[in-house]
């Protein structure tokens, strides 16, 4: 499986992968570890990430950004309606009522769902991970803000599916940071010691999240979270943009907001200015050339003025900090450290305020930009059997209290019950017991609308089907398992009917309620008595059977109590979900298919563009070379003809050839390369480059054999055994080769370079194969001479010293053996010419 973490940020995304060496944040095709959360739509393709961001000014209405918080929201949602007017691209309502994005794509107006758009971004991030890991990626962990509601989370899960990802966990951004910190810190308290309390602050673009975590070795428990969705980098940008819109309105009489392009440019410049002000407190300029109506605009600002403008926003820092302290009932002195991450954590006044609140220096142990992605990758590695990670049990929290309500004729109205209070541990399952004669519906909702940054409290309805009375006509016992899963999403995950088969006067067997033991989940059995009475069921309704509760149960029921023995059979019941904004399987499948088509279209377009670029590059390259390295190999007439051809092609590229099919460019390139004299010229150039080396090698071989022949003629000992006839033949061959080489070299040197070479490199290389006929002759081994037998017996090698020359351990023997051996060895062939 792949081990990948994606930080799906409002402004930028990061990808971290686990490799043998550890967790690594990987770079995209621009060698940048940060991928902007932008998708741009064009007449032929989409661009995603950095390529899309570069089109934000030129193709602003079809370049989509800042869509992270559109997930799981109706088009009519107040948040959508409030941001809509500030966007330079259009939003539209999807048939389901959710938010869609309207753009021109492939020369047609298209509305894409938010899941599709995020799916596109994830496709890009997936490709980045794939090219880093050099293998297909599916399994991953994706981050979401801790304050995301179920609808928003389910929508991101759908987006992951559209991108072909298997999201093993949607991880809260602050929890991912917490895990990265926990794995990084080596000195956490032992499991039995008092946990270390650390506050995490993520100051991103779209908001500000705070969480409090208790750490022990191998154990990480989130205690509380809080957030502010205004206090992010974007809030500061908005203030700056407003300020300059007003200033330029007065100073230059420009209505900036009337021109989307100008507004986008102003946002870009204001963000740059904001970043500069983090590092510099003096006056800083803001200049934009040809801003609107050909007017250049300029302004200036310093940090002090900026902080004054943002006083209202900065005052929001304390709210979430105070909130987590109140929720956890901790005192400031209980806090061991305050770790800050996120791009906007670089704003000095924010840091000062947080630091002042806790009376502590802030800690920046982690990489502020990459911590979320790294935490996600760590979580993925923990989930993967292939990686050995220091195990951490991670307990997150339920961000908003969740209740269930149900309606039943027998109950004469609505009953409700809070199943997961705020900050309840998650993931977690509970089992509720109902007594019913017929199918019934449970509606899940967030109990406290005030704490919800979302207009709709309903999570969805769950219809428990196929419920029938017992054979006796009484209500049947129905067990319903509710859970908040690893993604932080609530569901009624299972329902079963307990059918009573037989009753006998026997001791009651052990607990029939099946505790929903699941990996990583603490299970509780809860019983809701709802037999024909209306109950406002709250926590008092639950009989928990965690360890404590089980004890309680045993005490309640003495083991010796005789009760009718009940034999039961459990029947699984189907559940029909009606969840808000969850894409239906059909829609999801269609989106997956469409994403596949768009990926293919992008690929084809890339190939087409590459083919076009190849023609263009060839034109430029050849033009350079005709006046450069190839100059001396081409005569003037040929050069002129070819230059003209190149110029024609260049013009064609800007006119008829601007927008052609890939094959047209491929053919064009082939035509340029084939029909022109280029190949000849190129070959001449290549020949001229390679020729000296080939001659040198041939010369080297000729010399080598000449030396051997000389040595043979001088009757040197090692060659005396060679066959005279054969040596004479080698001698002739070598001399012929030398004559051939000298003559060719002379002819070539007097040849004009613009003409075909006199001799080809290939021919020289063929001549260089002298060794195939010469070598066997000159390296023939000397015949062996066997030493006399008796001597070998007496003076043969002793104690494994055979063949060595260091034998004189016995000087008497050594002398004769040495002499004898030496003679014999000298007769052996020693030379081996290769
Ligand atoms: P979110 O977490 O809200 O989804 P994100 O993860 O994309 O958003 P980050 O990348 O953490 O956000 O932070 C981006 C924000 O940080 C931007 O508003 C950016 O302008 C701001 N930022 C980055 N560097 C600096 C700096 N040096 N000074 C001020 N602000 C900065
Ligand atoms: Mg972020």
Tens digit of each residue's pLDDT (9 = 90 or more) over 365-403? 999 999 999 999 999 999 988 887 777 899 999 999 999
Last residue of a domain, one of 314, 333, 354: 314
786 pLDDT band (50/70/90 cuts)? Answer: low
Is the same domain home to 239 and 269?
Answer: yes
For residue 204, report the distance from its CA to the centre of ligand 1, in Å. 5
For residue 112, report the distance from its CA to the centre of ligand 1, in Å. 26
Q: Is 473 left (phi over 0), alpha (psi -120 to 50) or beta?
A: left
State phi, psi for 57 to the nearest 5 degrees.
-90, -45
Residue 440 within any structural domain of the chain:
yes
**Residue 610 lies in domain:** 585-676
The helix or strand, by DSSP H or E, that contains position 533, with its residue range, turns out to be none
| Mean pLDDT computed over 679-706 | 85
Residue 826 within any structural domain of the chain:
no
409 pLDDT band (50/70/90 cuts)? Answer: low
Would you state the pLDDT for residue 362? 97
Q: Can you give the C-alpha Rg of the chain in angstroms?
A: 41
Chain-wide mean pLDDT for the chain? 85
Would you state the pLDDT for residue 676? 52
Would you state the pLDDT for residue 363? 96
End-to-end CA distance of the chain: 51
Tens digit of each residue's pLDDT (9 = 90 or more) over 517-564? 333 333 333 334 333 333 333 322 333 333 333 333 333 344 444 556
3-state SS class at 785: coil
The torsion defined by the Cα of 748, 751, 753 and 754, in degrees rounded to 10, comes to -140
Would you state the pLDDT for residue 797? 35
Highest averaged pLDDT of the listed ranges 127-141, 517-531, 722-736, 778-792: 127-141
CATH number, domain containing residue 147: 3.30.420.40
Residue nearest to atom 26 of ligand 1 (CA): 275
* Binding site membership of 204 for ligand 1 (Cβ less than 6 Å): yes
Residue nearest to atom 10 of ligand 1 (CA): 343
| Mean pLDDT computed over 155-163 | 97
pLDDT at 792 over 60: no
Residue nearest to atom 29 of ligand 1 (CA): 275
Residue 390 within any structural domain of the chain:
no
Ligand lying nearest the CA atom of residue 13? 1
3-state SS class at 730: helix
Burial 526-558 (b: 16+ CB within 10 A, else e): bbbebeeeeeebeeebbbbbeeeeeeeeeeeee
Q: How deeply is 197 buried, as exposed, middle or buried, from its count of CB atoms within 10 A (0-12, 13-18, 19+)?
A: middle
Tens digit of each residue's pLDDT (9 = 90 or more) over 425-445? 999 999 999 999 999 999 999
Would you state the pLDDT for residue 783? 77
| Helix locations, 627-635, DSSP H | none
Last residue of a domain, one of 778, 809, 825: 778
Residue 805 within any structural domain of the chain:
no
pLDDT at 790 over 60: no
Residue 833 within any structural domain of the chain:
no
CATH number, domain containing residue 700: 1.20.1270
Tens digit of each residue's pLDDT (9 = 90 or more) over 618-660? 999 888 888 888 777 777 888 888 888 899 999 999 999 988 9
* Binding site membership of 343 for ligand 1 (Cβ less than 6 Å): yes
* Binding site membership of 207 for ligand 1 (Cβ less than 6 Å): yes
Is the same domain home to 225 and 249?
Answer: no
Ligand 1 pocket test, pick from 121, 152, 343 with the greatest ligand atom count within 8 Å of Cβ, gives: 343
Is the same domain home to 213 and 82?
Answer: yes
Is the same domain home to 344 and 408?
Answer: no
Please give the angle made by the CA atoms of 502, 506 and 512, to the nearest 5 degrees: 65
Tens digit of each residue's pLDDT (9 = 90 or more) over 451-460? 898 998 999 9
Strand partners, 89: none
Please state, for a pLDDT cut of 90, what percent of the chain lies above it: 66
For residue 271, report the distance from its CA to the centre of ligand 1, in Å. 10
* Binding site membership of 349 for ligand 1 (Cβ less than 6 Å): no
Q: Which residues touch 267 (CB under 8 Å, ≥6 apart)?
A: 237, 241
* Among the ranges given (237-251, 271-285, 530-544), the one the predictor scored with the smallest mean pLDDT: 530-544
Ligand 1 pocket test, pick from 11, 65, 71, 237 with the greatest ligand atom count within 8 Å of Cβ, gives: 11
For the CA of 237, the closest atom of ligand 1 is 18
Residue 161 within any structural domain of the chain:
yes
Residue nearest to atom 6 of ligand 1 (CA): 9
Would you state the pLDDT for residue 254? 95
Would you state the pLDDT for residue 640? 86
Would you state the pLDDT for residue 51? 96
State phi, psi for 214 to the nearest 5 degrees.
-105, 125
794 pLDDT band (50/70/90 cuts)? Answer: very low
Ligand lying nearest the CA atom of residue 11? 1
411 pLDDT band (50/70/90 cuts)? Answer: low
Would you state the pLDDT for residue 538? 31
* Binding site membership of 271 for ligand 1 (Cβ less than 6 Å): yes
Residue 363 within any structural domain of the chain:
yes
Ligand lying nearest the CA atom of residue 227? 1
Tell if the pTM clears 0.85, that is, is over it: no
* Binding site membership of 11 for ligand 1 (Cβ less than 6 Å): yes
Residue nearest to atom 27 of ligand 1 (CA): 275
Q: What distance in Å separates the CA atoms of residue 88 and residue 85, rounded to the nearest whole number?
A: 8
* Binding site membership of 178 for ligand 1 (Cβ less than 6 Å): no
Is the same domain home to 539 and 437?
Answer: yes
Would you state the pLDDT for residue 486? 95
Q: What distance in Å separates the CA atoms of residue 237 and residue 306, rounded to the nearest whole number?
A: 11
Is the same domain home to 638 and 719?
Answer: no
CATH number, domain containing residue 265: 3.90.640.10
Last residue of a domain, one of 271, 288, 314: 314
* Binding site membership of 646 for ligand 1 (Cβ less than 6 Å): no
Is the same domain home to 191 and 321?
Answer: yes
Residue 796 within any structural domain of the chain:
no
Ligand 1 pocket test, pick from 16, 37, 200, 204 with the greatest ligand atom count within 8 Å of Cβ, gives: 204
Q: Which of 61, 172, 42 lies closest to 107 in space, CA to CA?
A: 42
For residue 639, report the distance from its CA to the centre of ligand 1, in Å. 56
62 touches 260 (CB < 8 A): no
Q: What distance in Å separates the CA atoms of residue 235 and residue 251, rounded to the nearest whole number?
A: 24
**Helix and strand tally (H, E) in the chain?**
22, 30
The owner of tokens 């092609």 is: 649
Domain count of the fold of the chain: 5
Is the same domain home to 415 and 436?
Answer: yes
The owner of tokens 């509720």 is: 432
For the CA of 68, the closest atom of ligand 1 is 4
Higher-confidence residue of 308 and 723: namely 308
Number of other CB atoms surrounding residue 691 within 10 Å: 19
pLDDT at 172 over 90: yes
- Strands, sheet with 335-341, edge to edge from the N-terminal-most edge strand: 335-341, 196-203, 208-216, 219-228, 393-397, 425-426
pLDDT at 791 over 70: no
- Strands, sheet with 575-579, edge to edge from the N-terminal-most edge strand: 413-420, 402-408, 440-446, 458-464, 575-579
Is the same domain home to 591 and 524?
Answer: no
For the CA of 12, the closest atom of ligand 1 is 7
Query: H/E/C letters for each residue in 124-135?
Result: HHHHHHHHHHCC
Burial 772-781 (b: 16+ CB within 10 A, else e): eebbebbeee
pLDDT at 143 over 90: yes
Is the same domain home to 208 and 64?
Answer: yes
Is the same domain home to 120 and 16?
Answer: yes
* Among the ranges given (535-549, 663-677, 772-786), the one the predictor scored with the smallest mean pLDDT: 535-549
* Binding site membership of 68 for ligand 1 (Cβ less than 6 Å): yes
686 touches 762 (CB < 8 A): no
pLDDT at 448 over 60: yes
Please state, for a pLDDT cut of 70, what percent of the chain lies above it: 85
pLDDT at 503 over 70: no
pLDDT at 271 over 80: yes
798 pLDDT band (50/70/90 cuts)? Answer: very low
* Binding site membership of 275 for ligand 1 (Cβ less than 6 Å): yes
34 pLDDT band (50/70/90 cuts)? Answer: very high
Is the same domain home to 610 and 466?
Answer: no
1 pLDDT band (50/70/90 cuts)? Answer: confident
pLDDT at 784 over 90: no
Residues flanking ion ligand 2, Cβ below 5 Å: 9, 204
């Amino acid at each position: 499986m792949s081990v990948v973490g994606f930080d799906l940020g409002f402004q930028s995304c990061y990808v971290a992968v686990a490799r043998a060496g550890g967790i690594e944040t990987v770079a995209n095709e621009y060698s940048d570890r940060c991928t902007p959360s932008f998708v741009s739509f064009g007449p032929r393709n989409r661009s995603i990430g950095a390529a899309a961001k570069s089109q934000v000014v030129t193709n602003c209405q079809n370049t989509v950004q800042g869509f992270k918080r559109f997930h799981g929201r109706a088009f009519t949602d107040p948040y959508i309606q409030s941001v809509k007017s500030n966007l330079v691209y259009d939003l539209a309502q999807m048939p389901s009522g959710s938010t869609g994005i309207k753009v021109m794509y492939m020369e047609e107006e298209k509305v894409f769902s938010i899941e599709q758009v995020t799916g596109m971004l994830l496709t890009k991030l997936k490709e980045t991970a794939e090219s880093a890991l050099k293998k297909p990626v599916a399994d991953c962990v994706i981050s979401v803000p801790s304050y995301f509601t179920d609808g928003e989370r389910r929508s991101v899960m759908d987006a992951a599916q559209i991108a072909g990802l298997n999201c093993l966990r949607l991880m809260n951004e602050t929890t991912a940071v917490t895990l990265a910190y926990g794995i990084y810190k080596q000195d956490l308290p032992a499991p039995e010691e008092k946990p270390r309390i650390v506050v995490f602050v993520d100051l991103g673009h779209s908001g500000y999240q705070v969480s409090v975590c208790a750490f022990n070795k191998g154990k990480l428990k989130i205690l509380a979270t809080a957030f502010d969705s205004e206090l992010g980098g974007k809030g500061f940008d908005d203030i700056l943009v407003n300020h300059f819109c007003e200033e330029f309105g007065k100073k230059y009489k420009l209505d900036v907001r009337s021109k989307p392009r100008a507004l986008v440019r102003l946002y870009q410049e204001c963000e740059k200015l904001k970043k500069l002000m983090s590092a510099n407190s003096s006056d800083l300029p803001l200049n934009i050339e040809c801003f609107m109506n050909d007017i250049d605009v300029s302004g200036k600002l310093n940090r002090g003025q900026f902080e004054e403008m943002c006083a209202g926003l900065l005052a929001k820092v304390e709210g979430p900090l105070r909130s987590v302290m109140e929720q956890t009932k901790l005192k400031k002195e209980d806090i061991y450290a305050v770790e800050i991450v996120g791009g906007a954590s670089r704003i000095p006044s924010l840091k000062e305020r947080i630091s002042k609140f806790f009376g502590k220096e802030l800690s920046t142990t982690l990489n502020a930009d990459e911590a979320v992605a790294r935490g996600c990758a760590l979580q993925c590695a923990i989930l993967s059997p292939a990686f050995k990670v220091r195990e951490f049990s991670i307990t997150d929290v339920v961000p908003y209290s969740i209740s269930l309500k149900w309606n039943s004729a027998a109950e004469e109205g609505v009953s409700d019950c809070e199943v997961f209070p705020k900050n309840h541990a998650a993931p977690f399952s509970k089992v509720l017991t109902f007594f019913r004669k017929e199918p019934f519906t449970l509606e899940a909702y967030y109990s406290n609308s005030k704490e919800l940054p979302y207009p709709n409290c309903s999570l969805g309805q769950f219809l428990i089907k196929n419920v029938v009375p017992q054979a006796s006509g009484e209500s049947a016992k129905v067990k319903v398992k509710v859970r908040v899963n690893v993604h932080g999403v609530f569901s009624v995950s299972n329902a079963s009917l307990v059918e009573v088969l037989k009753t006998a006067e026997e001791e009651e067997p052990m607990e029939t309620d099946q505790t929903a033991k699941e990996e990583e989940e603490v299970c509780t059995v809860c019983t809701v008595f709802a037999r024909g009475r209306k109950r406002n069921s709250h926590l008092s309704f639950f009989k928990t059977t965690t360890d404590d509760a089980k004890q309680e149960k045993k005490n309640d029921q003495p083991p010796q109590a005789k009760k009718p023995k009940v034999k039961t059979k459990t029947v699984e019941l189907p559940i029909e979900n009606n969840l808000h904004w969850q894409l239906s399987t059909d829609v999801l499948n269609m989106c997956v298919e469409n994403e596949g088509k768009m990926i293919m279209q992008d690929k084809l377009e890339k190939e087409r563009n590459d083919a076009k670029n190849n023609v263009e590059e060839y034109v430029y390259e050849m033009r350079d070379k005709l006046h450069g390295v190839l100059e001396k190999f081409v005569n003037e007439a040929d050069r002129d003809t070819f230059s003209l051809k190149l110029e024609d092609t260049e013009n064609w590229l800007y006119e008829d050839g601007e927008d052609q099919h890939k094959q047209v460019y491929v053919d064009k390139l082939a035509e340029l390369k084939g029909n022109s004299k280029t190949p000849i010229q190129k070959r001449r150039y290549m020949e001229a480059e390679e020729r000296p080396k080939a001659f040198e090698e041939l010369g080297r071989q000729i010399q080598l054999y000449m030396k051997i022949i000389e040595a043979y003629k001088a009757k040197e000992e090692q060659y005396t055994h060679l066959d005279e006839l054969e040596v004479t033949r080698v001698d002739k061959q070598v001399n012929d080769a030398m004559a051939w080489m000298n003559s060719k070299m002379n002819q070539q040197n007097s040849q004009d370079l613009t003409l075909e070479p006199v001799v080809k490199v290939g021919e020289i290389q063929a001549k260089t194969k002298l060794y195939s006929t010469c070598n066997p002759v000159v390296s023939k081994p000397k015949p062996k001479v066997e030493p006399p037998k008796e001597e070998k017996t007496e003076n043969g090698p002793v104690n494994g010293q055979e063949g060595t020359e260091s034998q004189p351990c016995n000087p008497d023997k050594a002398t004769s053996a040495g002499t004898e051996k030496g003679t014999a060895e000298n007769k052996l062939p020693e030379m081996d010419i290769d």
